[in-house]
Amino acid sequence: MISVGLDVGGTNTKIAVLNDKYKILKNIKIPTPLSNGYDFFIKELTEIAISISREYQKKKISVCIGIAGDVDSDRGILRYAPNLCGWKNKNIKKDFERVSGFKCLVENDANMASWGIYVFEVKRKVKNMAVFTLGTGVGGGIITNGNLYRGSTSTAGEIGHMIIKEGGEKCNCGNYGCLEAYCGTYALIREVQRRIKNTDSYLKKYGFEKGNITPKIIFDLAEKGDRICLDIWKDYGYRLGSGIGNIAVLLNPEITVLAGGVSRAHKFFMPFVKKRLSEYGIKTPINKMKILISNNEDIGVLGCASFALDNK
């Protein structure tokens, strides 16, 4: 038995193949085939799976597709994917299985990244774990009793949309005061633009080309000791600390993992996460929880492939 993970993002699709010992046989990336409609997209994905089954001479392979969107994983239906042509109510499981003949699971991509971290980084050594994926948005995943926790409509783990500050900053979801409204990269950039009036001349001062503010630049400026950017990471850590603290008192996980591109800035924000956590009055779940940083960019597709193997 081999398994195939397909991690479908708005730009690229990652592909991983595992053998039944969870050894990585293949790990590649292609542009997501979005330009010719949904049927073409399904045809392209099934052809990848068929060619892998031929390459490894396996008649039966187990497939899991991770998708950036709202997924009904019980039925394998993509409810809505703003970043995939805005597709709505696509029965990916049925369509993929019909065309390919292989069994296929369809899951949310943040859940699959969480599963990948659980299997490959934490090595299933704990029972309860939470993951924060820190990127443009703030997503997440929850492991309870050693299993992926999806909730009743497979939409559990929307960590970024818990309110931490009623009446606070506007979030991309339309609500105010969500964790993401402080810890999404768009929120970080919004804050830099508020505090630095003329970003072009500010960047020039530090020897950078003028251009758009990115999380990388906020990181680099902090690295050079820039007070404004250090303060922005400080506030980021404090707010992320509220999110992590809330998860600790609610879910009491052994481990919370910070993943996604922004987690690379951990040296700037982690001291303030810890400060914030120290303010919580309920000490046991806070003090007993470890916080880990994950920086494996392929963890999402590895999660898909291992999830396919676990549920073959």
Contacts with a copy of itself by CB under 8 A lie at 70, 79, 126-128, 142, 144-145, 147, 149-159, 161-168, 171-178, 239, 242, 245-247, 249-254, 279-282, 284-285, 288-289
Q: Which is nearer to a copy of itself, 287 or 296 (CB)?
A: 287
* Rounded least distance, CB 100 to a copy of itself, Å: 28
Q: Which is nearer to a copy of itself, 86 or 167 (CB)?
A: 167
Give SS3 for 30.
Answer: strand
* Rounded least distance, CB 267 to a copy of itself, Å: 23
Q: Which is nearer to a copy of itself, 50 or 162 (CB)?
A: 162
φ/ψ of residue 36, rounded to 5: -120, 25
Q: Which is nearer to a copy of itself, 14 or 93 (CB)?
A: 93
> Among 142, 157, 110, 162, which Cα is nearest to 304's?
110
Is 282 in contact with 94 (CB distance < 8 Å)?
no
* Rounded least distance, CB 175 to a copy of itself, Å: 5
Which residues, 6 or more positions from 58, have their beta carbon under 8 angstroms from its beta carbon? Answer: 1, 2
* Rounded least distance, CB 123 to a copy of itself, Å: 16
* Rounded least distance, CB 255 to a copy of itself, Å: 9
Please report the DSSP string for 109-140 in residue order: HHHHHHHHIIIIISTT--S-EEEEEESSSEEE
φ/ψ of residue 224, rounded to 5: -85, 5
* Rounded least distance, CB 57 to a copy of itself, Å: 38
Give SS3 for 61.
Answer: strand
Q: Which is nearer to a copy of itself, 102 or 272 (CB)?
A: 272
Q: Distances in Å between the alpha carbon of 227 and those of 192, 202, 222, 224, 265?
A: 11, 12, 7, 9, 15
* Rounded least distance, CB 242 to a copy of itself, Å: 5
CA distance 296 to 312: 25
Q: Which is nearer to a copy of itself, 24 or 156 (CB)?
A: 156
Q: Which is nearer to a copy of itself, 16 or 78 (CB)?
A: 78
Within 32-162, strands assigned E span: 61-67, 70-72, 77-81, 87-90, 103-108, 129-134, 138-144, 147-149
φ/ψ of residue 208, rounded to 5: -90, 155
